[in-house]
Structure 1
Amino acid sequence: MRQDEAETIALRALGWLAGNEELLPVFLGATGAGAEDLRARAAEPAFLASVLDFILMDDAWVIAFADGEGLSGAAAMQARAALPGGAVMHWT
């Protein structure tokens, strides 16, 4: 996946998260971001990566995002891997 495709998926994740009244406060509390940061930092690949990192913490969130956006269940993980800091470490 190219970085521009990953950023598009992450922006969709941000929109999905912003529309989730139960989960958005959890994200804001976990990241220390404020509501104004959602718009101001939406173009930053590192911030978008943090949105995907958050969603990827819980399988139920991944499934809800993917289902809500009509994406495959692996889309969030593939997008995260294509953004800065997303390289998977292999310890073998």
Structure 2
Amino acid sequence: MNRQETAETLALQALSWIAGHEEVLPLFLNASGAASDDLRRGATDPAFLAAVLDFLLMDDAWVVAFCDACSLRYDAPMQARAALPGGQQINWT
């Protein structure tokens, strides 16, 4: 499995975690503009999965809860985000 596939798998786990938390899911839907029906289609789109991780990374408490639930290191979502479209670090020098 390559780096992007690994990142997509982690993002799918994050999407599942978000969907399983009734207090977080409406916030994600509102922030992303997605409807509940869009989640299944978005699960195959690397750009959508990147948006899932962008959303998760907005709140440290969500990162900690997600990582604890999935037995991941706390930096795993950020590393996964870097492997998805638009996640590259920009070097201005």
TM-score by length of 2: 0.94
Alignment of 1:7-18 (within 5 A): 7-18=8-19
Identity of aligned residues (%): 63
What residue ranges of structure 2 are gaps of 5+ in the alignment?
A: none
| Equivalent runs, 1:62-73 vs 2, <5 Å | 62-73=63-74
Cα separation, 2, equivalents of 1:56 and 1:37 = 21
Which residue number corresponds to residue 79 of structure 1? Answer: 80
Aligned pair count? 92
Q: What RMSD in Å do the two structures reach over aligned CA positions?
A: 1.1
Unaligned stretches of 5+ residues in structure 1: none
CA drift at 1:90: 3.0
- Structure 2 Cα separation of the partners of residues 67 and 6 of structure 1: 17
Partner of 1:55: 56
Q: State the distance in 1 between where 2:66 and 2:91 align.
A: 27
- TM-score of the two chains, using structure 1 as the length reference: 0.95
Deviation per residue, 1:38-67 (Å, 9 max, x gap): 111100000000000000011111111101
